[in-house]
Amino acid sequence: MMFKSLKSRLLGYFFIANSLILLSFGYFVYSTAQEGLSRNLDSLLKFVSYDFLSDFKRGYYTDAKDAAADLQSEFKISPLFVKVLYYSKEKKMPEYSSYSSQEKEALFEIPLHEAGELYEIDFYDKEEYRVSSMLVLEDEKSKVFFQLATLKEKHSPLLEELLLILLISSPVILLIYLLLGNMLMNRMLSPVHDVVAMVKRISAEKLFKRLDTKQIPLEIEELVGTFNALLQRLEESFKRVSTFSSDASHELKTPLTVIKGEIDVALRHERSAQEYKKVLEAVGAEADRVQETIEQLLFLAQKDSAEMSVNFQNVYFDELLLEAITQLKPFAKSREIEIKITQITPFTVKANEALLKIVCANLIKNAILYSPKNSQVEVNLYEDETDYILQIEDAGQGIAKEELPFVYERFYRAEKARARQNGGTGLGLSIVKMILDLHHYAISMRSTLGKGTLVEVRLPK
């Protein structure tokens, strides 16, 4: 469970990385020390060879045993094995050899540097021994090689002490690194703890709050931004739920009150069949209004999401518009309104057909609702260089300039007495705006009180 913690994982990786670094460093130091000892041994063998050279030229040594005993005593090297080799240039092969120990002849089975220069020395490894070979004398007929062999110092006190230091210091250094790493990670992760504390302070009643990104490191700024976006969506969702509740309560209360009042009045005393018929007609009209309001509220509540963007397909917009006009002609005729088609330009768009039909029907129905008798609602569908344009114009009562920015709000018009008289719910334009926003289509409205309203929808080509 501990490795579920990001801090524990980071410390684990930090421990592994530093362990590998310390092991590599220790191996490098120990290998370098071993190599240094090997170089020191080579220097010692070289020095001994030069000392032998000066004595050999004076004739102090007669064979290898004398040279080995003398050199071992002088330089305190033990063991030290010596070989003196006489090489014939004419025969191109060794002619005579003298050994300090016959048992160690195999140590000197090394290649001769026959073409080597005088006093040049070569070094060789023979198992645990280090061997040197030096050309000490040369004349027309022969060459004399002086060769030494001694044990390598693999287990010298210096190396053992160095190894002990490395074994003790490495865990201590690693522990110090871990403590420092823990302190640094606590400091680095403190912004995360601050973010968690801020998130805990946000409740359903405080969804308007946002996490401050000013002091947040870049590495978690994107996470905080995503969380703020989530809060924004949650706030909008809560607002939609709250709006739906208040809208439903507000809009349904009035028709239900009317229905109850009509029924109460009708039941106070006996009435004629004609009077009961009028009451039932009034109750039926209010019931229709309740049904329409509920359907539109449910549409707005359920469709405020990306699910409406599915099922986009090629739609013949001109045919869709003509279908909406055909369906609304009986309604227009009942209100003595004529729907006049000025121009229809055929074109195809990628859209949700059912939703666009709702747009066309709602806009034309609104124009009919607020037009006086014996007037016209003109419908025009044409194109310019960049867009296809739908225009719907009526000669109705118009909308005040200061009210135009609010006409897409839910129930804005429903609060006006004339809206209820005309049978509107105040939700039609909210639905239209939502659908057009989903399709990324623009809508604009120009209106003059007492003269009428022109609605324009632009569909990008």
pLDDT recorded at residue 419: 46
pLDDT recorded at residue 346: 94
pLDDT recorded at residue 169: 85
pLDDT, tens only, 58-87: 777 767 888 888 888 887 777 889 999 888
pLDDT recorded at residue 96: 86
Provide the domain limits for residue 59: 2-157
Asked if the model's pLDDT at residue 322 lies above 60, the reply is yes
- Same domain? For 257 and 397 the reply is no
- CATH number assigned to the domain comprising residue 262: 1.10.287
Q: Is residue 171 part of a domain?
A: no
pLDDT recorded at residue 325: 93
pLDDT recorded at residue 201: 64
Query: How far is Cα 35 from Cα 152, in angstroms, rounded to an integer?
Result: 11
Q: What is the dihedral of CA 189, 191, 193, 195, to 10 degrees?
A: -140
Report the number of distinct structural domains present in the chain: 3
Closest CA to 391 of 377, 376, 370, 371: 377
- Same domain? For 273 and 397 the reply is no
Strand partners, 315: 349
pLDDT recorded at residue 343: 92
**Per-range mean pLDDT, top range of 158-167, 269-278, 367-376:** 367-376
Asked if the model's pLDDT at residue 154 lies above 70, the reply is no
- CATH number assigned to the domain comprising residue 351: 3.30.565.10
- Same domain? For 322 and 271 the reply is no
Q: How confident is residue 457, by pLDDT bands cut at 50, 70 and 90?
A: very high
Query: How far is Cα 323 from Cα 360, in angstroms, rounded to an integer?
Result: 9
pLDDT recorded at residue 255: 67
Q: What's the mean pLDDT when you consider all of the chain?
A: 79
- Same domain? For 268 and 346 the reply is no
Q: Is residue 40 part of a domain?
A: yes
Predicted TM-score of the model (pTM): 0.46
**Per-range mean pLDDT, top range of 199-203, 308-312, 406-410:** 406-410
pLDDT recorded at residue 1: 47
